[in-house]
Structure 1
Amino acid sequence: MTEQQPTALVTGASRGLGRALTADLAADGWRVVVDARHGDQLADAVAGLPGVVAVPGDVADPSHRTELAEAVDDLGGLDLLVLNASLLGPSPQPELADYPLDVLEQVYRVNVLAPLGLVQTLRPLLRPGVRIVAITSDAGAEAMAGWGGYGSSKAALEHLGAVLAIENPQWRVHVVDPGDMRTVMHQEAFPGEDISDRPEPETVVPALRALVDGDHPSGRYRAADLIPAVTS
């Protein structure tokens, strides 16, 4: 990690894990560029946080990715890229045989093509030792009924991360399954159910910081396997 003030870009930072991680990084002295589709929600999420630059927009839009790169360039480069923005798809989740293909195309555009497009756009700005953290799901590693659309998009993201790591050994590419969390997206995935027993996103942040601040090799990680290492 760079000795100068570190800089991160966190997508999908208006709520959930992206919001929690942004607050933690800002409190620790990082400069953080953030985005989300809803500018008002993003502004509320980062209000009062030092060193945070909000760039609202849709990460699936190439022009928005260029705006993010310009914000990063203004800060002199990037030490951490967190690919957190995701699209669940229909709620409740349909089986694949009934999945609207136009909706599935949009899920892939946000969950697969946009992260890769962002890496490509930011490539000249990635500092030595950069960490790239892609947020995945257990649905990306296991076949689950009703999760074929979202899950297959995360499986594709995981494979992209693995190949990027092989092709770019100078980067640390971490694919992270945060586990179930008490988030808006998780509630949308289980409409009408009580998810109050799920942990808050803030409980996952120490696992992400273990990867960001540590010396873990590129690979897939479960947050549950990382958190004991930082809390014991």
Structure 2
Amino acid sequence: MPVALVTGGSAGLGRALVHTLGARGWTVVTDGRDHARLAAAVGTLPAVVPVVGDVADPAHVEALAREVGWLGRLDLLVHNASTLGPLPLRPLRETSTEELLDVWRVNAAAPVALTRAVLPQLRTASGVVVSLSSDAAVEHYETWGAYAAGKAALDHLTLTLAAEEDLTAYAVDPGDMRTAMHQDAFPGEDISDRPLPETVVPQLLALLAARPPSGRYRAASFAQVPA
């Protein structure tokens, strides 16, 4: 039975991916900061192991690695948990150094720490690392500076780990989605024209099935596989 670790499984793309992998027979370890929200999202799924905590907390990273260690292998690690930073989004001139660091701890440093913690299990299974990126990592949008810089760093760190550790790793831009985080970025605006995160999951599965060389990819570039 394949094993996945998907951070940020209580909402959005993380939740959709956890449900799909669970339905396909995977054992999935996932997390979220809010106990009630995580339980409501995945608590009824029999093959899912929910772990409450913040990915930027070293003790939580250890807890996730411990769960993976008990399972003995890790076929897929998905760095999905992230933060926009202070809301409403603001120009960099109004963003403090500590606020920048808080965003980068979650969006860039935490995925490196987690990957490092589960390297033995990734190697055992010849596992794949997927870091959810953004077009903001390569474009320059006003008020998105803190988040965008964190995602750009995540891209680079993910692919550097691939080179250093002989891993297969992908930085993946999933495109705009109709999620709570996206709504937070555009308060008061109608985002109903954005696709639901469930529509991105088949694209991610197609990427994993194709298993191209490590690199940065757009999810929409991959033909969808049957759900």
TM-score bracket for the superposition, by shorter chain length:
over 0.9
Asked if 1:136 corresponds to 2:133, the answer is: yes
Secondary structure in 2 aligned to 1:192? coil
Contact persistence 2:85–2:99 (CA under 8 A):
yes
Matched, 1:166 2:157: no
Does the CA contact (< 8 Å) of 2:202 and 2:224 recur in 1?
no
Match of 1:46 among 35, 42, 47: 42
1:229 Cα offset (Å): 5.2
Contact 1:14–1:42 under 8 Å retained in 2:
yes
Q: What pairs with 1:79-118 in structure 2 (closer than 5 Å)?
A: 79-118=75-114
Paired AA for residue 152 in structure 2: A
Sequence identity percentage: 54
CA distance in 2, matches of 1:229, 1:55: 30
Separation in structure 2 between the aligned mates of residue 91 and residue 222 of structure 1, nearest angstrom: 27
Give the TM-score of the pair, scaled to structure 2.
0.96
CA contact (8 A) 1:38 1:56 kept: yes
5+ long unaligned stretches in structure 2: none
Unaligned runs of 5+ in 1: none
Q: Are the counterparts in 2 of residues 27 and 50 from structure 1 also a CA contact under 8 Å?
A: no
What does residue 177 of structure 1 align with? 173
Q: Please, which of 50, 56, 66 is the counterpart of residue 60 of structure 1?
A: 56
Question: What does the per-residue CA deviation read over 1:86-145, in whole Å, with 9 as the maximum and x for residues that have no partner?
Answer: 011122211111112221111011001100000111112213421100000100111111
Cα distance change on mapping 1:155 and 1:30 into 2, 3 Å: same
Q: TM (normalized to structure 1)?
A: 0.94
Amino acid at match of 2:115: V
> Which sits farther off after the overlay, 14-23 or 127-136?
127-136
Output the CA distance in 1 between the equivalents of 2:137 and 2:78.
18
Distance 1:137 1:23 in 2: 22
2:8–2:80 contact (8 Å) kept in structure 1? yes
1:47 CA drift (Å): 2.8
| Letter matched to residue 185 of structure 2 | A
Aligned to 2:154: 157
